Structures are given as C-alpha cells and as structure tokens.
Structure 1
Amino acid sequence: MALNTVLQILLLPFILLLPLLLLLRKKLINKPQKHFPPSPPKLPIIGNLHQFNQSGSSAHQNLWRLSKRYGPVMLLHLGRIPTLIISSAEAAKQVMKDNDLHCCSRPASTGSRKLTYNYIDMGFAPYGEYWREIRKICVLELFSVKRVQSYRSIREEEVEKMIKSISDESTSSSSSSSSSSSSSSSSSVDLTEKLFALMGSIIFRIVFGTSFEGSDFEHEKFHQVLHDTEIMLAGFSAADYFPSYIGNIIDRISGKHKLFDRVSGEVHRFFQQVIDDHLKPGRTQQDHEDIVDVLLKIVREQTGFGAAQLGHNNIKAVLLNLFLGGIDTGAITMLWAMAELAKKPRLMKKAQDEVRSCVGNKANVSETDIEQLQYLKMIVKETLRLHPPAPLLLPRETMSPFKVLGYDVEPNTLVLINDWAISRDPEFWKDPEEFIPERFDDSSLDFKGQNFEFLPFGAGRRICPGIYMATTTVELGLANLLYCFDWKLPEGMKEEDINMEETTGALALTISKKTALNLVPVKFSC
C-alpha cells in the first residue's frame, strides 16, 4: 500500500472530526463567562473559615468588616461550601424578593438534622411540599391573630408576676441595705435574669401548658440546654464543611458527636415527656388550649396535610422551633431596649410619660392599652434595628442559578444575609450607630418583610411567621417596666459606664448583651 494512501487512512478520522472541533471551539468562545462575586484570599482546605469566625469578635461583625473591602455581595468558601454574604438592602431585595424562589431552601447540617428528625420541622426544613404544608399549619393554627390573642391572659399574668418579683426584690434589698448601712447599689435587680425568666414562663405556658418553674428545665440547666441547642444548630461542625470521612473524624476527636448526642437526647426526651403528659387519661384540663394540644389534635384528625402522615416526631420538631424562636429573641430585645433607655434618661422619661398618660391610674398595663403607645412601638423598632437578636438571618441555600447585583450565583450555595450590617448602613440610616426611636416617627418603615433595609424577621417565603406573637409580648413587657418603675443606675455609675458590648465567641443563632443589666427600680406611685 502506498505511503500516501496509508496517511490518508490515518488522517481520515481527524478530517471528519474537524468540523465538530471547530463548532465546539466556536461555542466555547461565544459562551458567556461567569461573573462571580469578589472573594477574599482563601487558605487550602479551610478556605475562609478563619475569617468567618475570628476569636474575640462576632461573625456578623467580621463579615461586615470584610464587606467594607469586598463589597455588599461577597463570596467566601467555608471549607468546601461556597457561601454568599449579603450586606446591603438592594442585594437583600434581589435575593429575598426578586429571586426568592431560587434560594428559599435551607442547607443541610449535622446539628439541625439530629434535632429536627431529619428536617420535619418548619424552620430548617428544605423547600418543598412538606415545608409548604407544615408552614401553612403553623401560620393558620399557631400564629394567627386569633390564636395569639387567646393567650393574652397568660402574657399579662406572667408580666404581672415579673413586676411583683422586681418590686419585692428591690424592697427587700433596700430594707437590708438600710439596716446594714451598705451602698444603695444593693437594691439593683438583674434585668437580664428577670427578662429571660419572663420569656421562659410565657413560652412554657403557651406552648407546653406548664409553668417554667415546674418543668424539668429549671434555671441554669434550662439556659444551658437552650444555649447548647443554639450552638448545635449554628455552630461549627467539621462534617458540614469538609469531606465526610475527614469531618467525622475531627468531630469525634473534638467531642462534637458526644455533645450533639447529649443535647438532642435531652431536648427530645423533654418534648416526648410533654406529649406523654398531654396524652395521659384524666389529665387536668388547662384554662386554655396550649400549642401541644393544638398539634396533637391536628395529628389525630390529619386534615389538610396532603398525603403525608404526621406523628409525634413532627410535633417535637415544630416544638423545637417554638422553643428556640420564642424565648431568647424576646428577652434580648427587651434587654437591649432597657439598656439603651438607661443610657439616655431623656428618652426613658419620654417613653414613661407616654405610657403613664395613656394608661392612667391602673395597677398594670394591659394589651388593650398598647395600641395607643406609638413612641413605645418606635423604641421596639429602633431596638430591632440597632440590636437585631439574630444578626445573621437563618442561612438559605440556592436551588438554581441567578444573579445578584450583576454577579452570578450557582446552585448549592449557602446564602447568609447580614441584617446587622444592613440595618447600620449609612446609605439608608442617618447616624446609624445612634439609638434614635424618633427616626420612625411618621415613617412607613416596618419589619414585615417589605423594607429590605430593615429585616429583623427576614423576608420572602422564609420570613418568621411569629412576628405578631413576638412584638405583642415585647411591647407588653416593656410597657409595664416603664409604667411601674422609675429606673436608676446603681450608685457611683454613670450612663457612659453601661457596657453595650455583644456576646462573642462561639457561633449561636442569637446574640445578646455581653454583661448583665443591673438597674435600680423605684416603684412609681400613681
């Protein structure tokens, strides 16, 4: 066979493939290039984890500082997880409104999986039919205006108990102080302790039908379990950020597996005991139908929930959401509000004058009085702006590609919205670091998910459904504290001495005031 013929035979496949190669080259050339958000330099394996959670500072503050350099849309790599950080109102709007359907799911995590029986709750469940149905049940049956109003007597009774406790404690301390000639600072009360106890009592009675004092989670144990649960849901687990075989080894060595097993076991046993108590024959009926009663009734009737069958695990998963979302956030908001007012006596007096003139000669403020207290409502809004209890909204996960401020976002990206940074953006807020309730006077700005510069409850499909319950409780508690007492600083202390630092260190769902707030209550006489 001639050499030319052999060469022709050998070259024939390449000749036939040439048009295909040219076509592919043309497509590659014409294919639009992805435009990803700017990213800080990352380290091998851990990516940007070291920048996300630096010791001595909170994650939301670290991310805010990074956004000053890299912009309001920033891409970090937390181990193997691409993470989009949103730090402006316009970017938040494009995520939670324009592209809400593309990124309204939740990321998987070891802690949330164990605590929610593989995501059969409302808060951490991925987007889908189950989530839509369980949320519908919660909105209609647990958080409706009618249901929240049915618990009015509980809120008023528990607030009245707190006021009496403060009055008794301050009177007792003052008497002791006089007899022992000690400083008047001994008559101060720890408002941090009082407010967390108040929220615990309200939530326990509304949700579980039992008093906080009579539960298995009393005092230090209760707060420790609540704290550990938040760490489990929001904190670092190596299995979430590194390949599973490496992450699981790290978690075992660090004791994370044992911690998760202990905390989830304690929480599940408590919830199961609550359910068992409600199912006991001859159980004494409460004056009201608590939320466990409501959920058990739904399970028995199985109405309006598609093809899925609900059981006790579903109830326990939903109770977890109420347990976490109902206690810390309300107490933290009231605590920050009282701290800010104590630093600014003029604002404190303005708020007290309003509530006392509206309420008149009554022992306590009732919920029917609250609607008149417009300045009090401004105080609550300003507190939620300056000190959002959850500075980073619960993380989302993208399900399909979309763009934010011109940047491409890929599926399976974690999305963190820094509400703390957004609510302090000088582009929208004048003197953003200052506590100025009057900024909401004659303003249409609200926290119901339509104003993206103000997102303490989130927005879009994943907005918190308990807004009405939360604000009703906070406003009632604050109104009574302001009505019943004049608040003074302990002897020798000045307004500028009040520590306004946030808690730092381990990640948690909520961020509170770092130090306890101790104030001296002086009983107000009508």
Structure 2
Amino acid sequence: MAFDIVLARELVAASILFLVTRLFIRRVISKPRKLPPGPKGWPIIGALPLLGGMPHVALARMAKQYGPVMYLKMGTCGMAVASTPDAARAFLKTLDLNFSNRPPNAGATHLAYNAQDMVFADYGPRWKLLRKLSNLHMLGGKALDDWAQVRTIELGHMLRAMNDACRRGEPVVVPEMLTYAMANMIGQVILSRRVFATKGSESNEFKDMVVELMTKAGLFNIGDFIPSIAWMDLQGIEGGMKKLHKRWDGLISKMIFEHKATAHERKGKPDFLDVIYANRDNSDGERLTETNIKALLLNLFSAGTDTSSSIIEWALAEMLNNPSILRRAHEEMDQVIGRNRRLEESDIAKLPYLQAICKETFRKHPSTPLNLPRVAIEACEVNGYYIPKGTRLSVNIWGIGRDPVVWENPLSFTPERFLSGRNAKIDPRGNDFELIPFGAGRRICAGTRMGIVLVEYILGTLVHSFDWRMPDGVELNLDEAFGLALQKAVPLSAMVTPRLAPTAYAA
C-alpha cells in the first residue's frame, strides 16, 4: 500500500515535470522573434488608415521615426518597407529570389487577367517565357535598335502636331501629346500599324484609360489586406477595376482580331505579335494562352506609355520651374547638334547635361514611387529582424530619392549633382540602389532599357526643338497624384515656340 502511494506520487511528479519541461521548451521555441519596428496601427485594420492618400509620403515620414526597415500590420497581413539604399539592396539583391513573387491583389485579379501577365505572374516558366520573348523582340538592346526608325518617324508626327498648336496659338497638353506618340510607337512594333491616325478624342480616351489603370492598380485596397471582407468592396475599387478591364479587353481583343485579319500583308515581315504567336510554346512544355498574350499587350501598352510619359512631363515641369536649367540644356544642344536638324539618338551620348536632367527626374519623380509589391516566399532575416513568410514588401523609391542622408538638398531639382564626383557614375538600371526608378533584381521592370531610351530621346527632342513657357496667367502646379505611376495632379499644359530651322520639322 505504501509502495503504491510512493509510486503514485513519483508518477504525478514525473508527469508534472514532463508537462512543465514541455511547456518551457514550447515557449522557448515559439518565442516571438524580433520584428522590425513600426507603428501599432488600429485594431483589425492595422496601419492602413495611417497611409492616407499619399502612402509614399506617409511611409517616408514613418521611416524617420522607425528606421530603414519597418514592419506594418496591414489588416491580417504584414508589410515590410525598405527606405534606404542598403535596406533595398538587402531585399532586392541579397534576398532577391525569396522576394521574386507578387502578393495576390485585386489589380492582378481584375485588371491583369488574374495575374496571367508578365508584371504580376509568379516567378516561374510562364513568366520567364513572357520575359524572354519581350526582351528578344521588343525590349532588349538589339530589339530597341531594330525599331529606332519607328521612334524617329512617330516623334516627327508629334513635332508637327505641336507646331500646328503653336501656329494656332494653343497650348500643348503634354501628357496627351506623349501618349499619342508612344502608343503609336508601341503599336507600330506590336501590330505593324499606328494605333491612332491623329491626336484627338480617341487617343485622349486611351490616355484616360491608361491613367485610370495606373491609379486604380496603385490604390491600397482594404480587401487585399483583409481577404475575408474583400467581397464587400468597401471602397468600390474592385467594381471600378472590373468595368475598366472590360474596356481594355474590348480594345485589345479588337487589336488582335484586326491583326489576324491582316496577316497576309506581313508575309516575311513579322511584327512582335506575329513572333509571340509563333513562339508561344517553349522547350519546357510551357505554352502561352490567348489570355497570356492579351495580358502581355495590356502590360506593354499601359506601362509602356504611362511610366515614360510621366517622367518626361515631370522633367519639363521642373525645367519650366527652373528656366536656367532649360537654358543650359539649350546651350549644350546648340553646341553639339546646332539648329539645322533634329536631335538623333546617337547624339545623346554627347549630351551629359541632358542625361543628368533625366537622372535627376528619375530621382525626384520616380514613375513607381513604391515599386511594385513583392512577397516573402519563406521567412528570412534582414538587418537582424525577422521577416515572416508571406510578408509583403514595398521599397520606397520615392523616399530614397528624397532622403537628405543619401542626397544633398534632395528637394532641389539639381541636375548638376550627376555631372561630377561619385554621383556621375550612378546609373538608373538597378545596380546603384540610391537610384532605382525601375526597381532591381530579377523582377526589375522589363522595360527598363526602353524606358531610358524613350525618356532621353523624347525629352531631348522636345527641349531641343522648342522654347517652352507657361500660358499667360497660368501658374505651374507641381503637386503629385499617387498611383502605381506617380502622376502630376494637374496635367502640364504649355506654350511652345519652334527654335530650329523649318526643315527640321518636315522630316
């Protein structure tokens, strides 16, 4: 009897010791790791209300308090924000593969054909095929050289339209003119035809669709961060996306239908869309569907026109605000090119001040202020902080460009900063993390090369070809409007006066 009592006591003690040890081990193992600092936010919705209407500005302000890597609870999701070059490098270079996918979101679902495009598709065989074909036949270095003549011809159409506006005494609405020219350039390469015969209501409607897409795709949609209530569409964002997608799908479907109907006219001279259809299967068994192809055209027509045109518009606005910069650019171009001919792409290498103006615009007015979001495939560590699996990543490119620790007098538009010293070697193609307007790593914007070529060539041509001033009684507005691309809140409208020999505008 006594033995049974002792044995029972020992069993109870052993059981208690086992349970205590197990709880201790579990507590140690599951002890929360140190997340990056960040604002507490509100119950349930987290930090979403703290972002306001200008998230890139709000996040840059928070970074001053919480540091280069922040962690925000956004509804049921976590979001890491990188706000310095070193932090961006850690995510986009050191951990590039772990952040090579996009998080699910309403824009990818309702605008980009359920992420069947190149921008939002997961990193994998289909994305690689879309990227490879785009680089080989439109966006890569050799492909860009192959359609240089298209850029020259379409820019000639735009210059003549601007000359006509000058003769009528009318201002030039810069984003409308740029969209008209760029859509036609891309149309010539993809479809072997101009998209718009003349600038007018049809091209302006296309521009409005592009801007609406970029604006809606950049909005912070509550349903993306609290999926259980996404069906309610509290902000009305998803409903607007669905309506816009129908318009885009109708336009793209019409383009493809008309393109197929004219196939006999291109015997021996295939364009980009012909090449895509001919190479829609790869050696790995991956096949591009009709939806993939439509989604790719959506990428090329929207991002291909809007991101470059917004940079050019900002550059012209800054020069109108700083006439001495415009004068210096004119002086450089007159010395290198003269006034008897148009600027040619081969001239750009001899125009360091023009290149500096482009870099300064990329710095101060990056086309995608928060880069496109990425998501952590697996948990990882950055700067000693734990980043959980599934964490969304935003890199505040706008904030990096305006950080006084990185740039001297960052709010000043000063192209001269890129003419000497270390800054003169900085390149916007994704290797110098102080200036990454197109992102970096394997998901860097596929159109980086094209974007730089278009910005330098078109901006250089507009500056060389015309004197620019604001219409009488109109004040220049430099306010921003947030979206996937950073728009001017008020589109730039300016008076132009030809400054070249009349024959330069005839070609």
Give TM-score scaled by structure 2 length. Answer: 0.90
Preserved contact between residue 160 and residue 364 of structure 1 (Cα < 8 Å): no
- CA distances 1:451-490 after superposition (whole Å, capped 9, x unpaired): 1111101111111121221111111211221222122333
1:222 aligns with one of 193, 196, 206:
206
Match of 2:494 in 1: 519
Alignment of structure 1 residues 109-128 onto 2, 5 Å: 109-128=105-124
1:375 aligns with one of 343, 346, 353:
353
Match of 1:182 in 2: none
Q: Give the whole-Å Cα distance in 1 for the aligned partners of 2:89 and 2:416.
A: 25
1:454 and 2:453 aligned: no
Preserved contact between residue 209 and residue 286 of structure 1 (Cα < 8 Å): no
Q: How far apart are residue 396 of structure 1 and its match?
A: 0.5
Q: How far apart are residue 330 of structure 1 and its match?
A: 1.0
Q: Give the whole-Å Cα distance in 2 for the aligned partners of 1:133 and 1:489.
A: 46
- CA distances 1:287-342 after superposition (whole Å, capped 9, x unpaired): 9643222212212xx244x1222221111121122122211111111111111111
Q: Give the whole-Å Cα distance in 2 for the aligned partners of 1:340 and 1:46.
A: 38
Give TM-score scaled by structure 1 length. Answer: 0.87
Preserved contact between residue 40 and residue 73 of structure 2 (Cα < 8 Å): no
Q: Give the whole-Å Cα distance in 1 for the aligned partners of 2:238 and 2:435.
A: 37
Match of 1:210 in 2: 193
1:501 aligns with one of 468, 479, 489:
479
Match of 2:95 in 1: 99
Q: Give the whole-Å Cα distance in 1 for the aligned partners of 2:128 and 2:418.
A: 34
Q: Give the whole-Å Cα distance in 2 for the aligned partners of 1:102 and 1:446.
A: 25
1:271 aligns with one of 242, 252, 277:
252
1:525–1:133 distance in 2 versus 1, CA, 3 Å: closer
Q: Which amino acid aligns with 2:127?
A: W
1:130–1:287 distance in 2 versus 1, CA, 3 Å: closer
Segment of structure 1 superposing worse, 76-85 or 268-277: 268-277
- CA distances 1:95-145 after superposition (whole Å, capped 9, x unpaired): 111111221211011331233333232211122333233323322333221
Q: How far apart are residue 434 of structure 1 and its match?
A: 0.8
Q: Give the whole-Å Cα distance in 2 for the aligned partners of 1:328 and 1:289.
A: 26
Match of 1:60 in 2: 56
Alignment of structure 1 residues 21-32 onto 2, 5 Å: 21-22=20-21, 25-26=24-25, 28-29=27-28
Q: Give the whole-Å Cα distance in 2 for the aligned partners of 1:520 and 1:225.
A: 26
Match of 2:230 in 1: 247
Listed as ranges, the gaps of 5+ residues in structure 1 are: 174-186
Match of 1:366 in 2: 344
1:256–1:437 distance in 2 versus 1, CA, 3 Å: closer
1:192–1:276 distance in 2 versus 1, CA, 3 Å: closer
Structure 2 residue matching 1:218: 3-state secondary structure: helix
Q: Which amino acid aligns with 1:161?
A: H
Q: How far apart are residue 254 of structure 1 and its match?
A: 5.5
Q: Give the whole-Å Cα distance in 2 for the aligned partners of 1:275 and 1:11.
A: 81
Structure 2 residue matching 1:415: 3-state secondary structure: strand
1:42–1:488 distance in 2 versus 1, CA, 3 Å: closer
Match of 2:410 in 1: 432
Q: Give the whole-Å Cα distance in 1 for the aligned partners of 2:48 and 2:464.
A: 47
Preserved contact between residue 63 and residue 70 of structure 2 (Cα < 8 Å): yes
1:43–1:189 distance in 2 versus 1, CA, 3 Å: same
Alignment of structure 1 residues 48-87 onto 2, 5 Å: 48-52=47-51, 54-55=52-53, 58-87=54-83
1:284 aligns with one of 259, 262, 265:
265
1:14–1:263 distance in 2 versus 1, CA, 3 Å: farther
Match of 1:325 in 2: 303
Preserved contact between residue 135 and residue 143 of structure 2 (Cα < 8 Å): no
Q: Which amino acid aligns with 1:472?
A: V
Q: How far apart are residue 264 of structure 1 and its match?
A: 1.9
Q: Give the whole-Å Cα distance in 2 for the aligned partners of 1:438 and 1:285.
A: 48
Preserved contact between residue 381 and residue 437 of structure 1 (Cα < 8 Å): yes
Match of 2:35 in 1: 36
- CA distances 1:187-220 after superposition (whole Å, capped 9, x unpaired): 4332233223222322233233332325999234
Preserved contact between residue 393 and residue 416 of structure 1 (Cα < 8 Å): yes
Preserved contact between residue 396 and residue 414 of structure 1 (Cα < 8 Å): yes
Q: How far apart are residue 27 of structure 1 and its match?
A: 6.7
Preserved contact between residue 388 and residue 420 of structure 1 (Cα < 8 Å): yes
Alignment of structure 1 residues 79-478 onto 2, 5 Å: 79-173=75-169, 187-214=170-197, 218-244=202-228, 246-248=229-231, 250-251=232-233, 255-280=236-261, 283-285=264-266, 289-299=270-280, 302-304=281-283, 306-442=284-420, 443-478=424-459
1:481–1:214 distance in 2 versus 1, CA, 3 Å: closer
Q: Which amino acid aligns with 2:266?
A: Q
Q: Give the whole-Å Cα distance in 2 for the aligned partners of 1:502 and 1:286.
A: 47
- CA distances 1:30-82 after superposition (whole Å, capped 9, x unpaired): 77751111121221121111012x14xx1101111111222221111221111
Preserved contact between residue 122 and residue 134 of structure 1 (Cα < 8 Å): yes
1:525–1:412 distance in 2 versus 1, CA, 3 Å: closer
Considering only aligned residues, what root-mean-square deviation do their CA atoms show, in Å? 2.6
| Percent identical residues | 31
Structure 1 residue matching 2:266: 3-state secondary structure: coil
Q: How far apart are residue 430 of structure 1 and its match?
A: 0.9
Q: Give the whole-Å Cα distance in 2 for the aligned partners of 1:523 and 1:385.
A: 29
Preserved contact between residue 87 and residue 421 of structure 1 (Cα < 8 Å): yes
Segment of structure 1 superposing worse, 27-36 or 455-464: 27-36
Q: Give the whole-Å Cα distance in 1 for the aligned partners of 2:250 and 2:494.
A: 38
Q: Which amino acid aligns with 1:207?
A: I
Preserved contact between residue 179 and residue 203 of structure 2 (Cα < 8 Å): no
Q: Give the whole-Å Cα distance in 2 for the aligned partners of 1:82 and 1:325.
A: 27
Structure 2 residue matching 1:210: 3-state secondary structure: coil
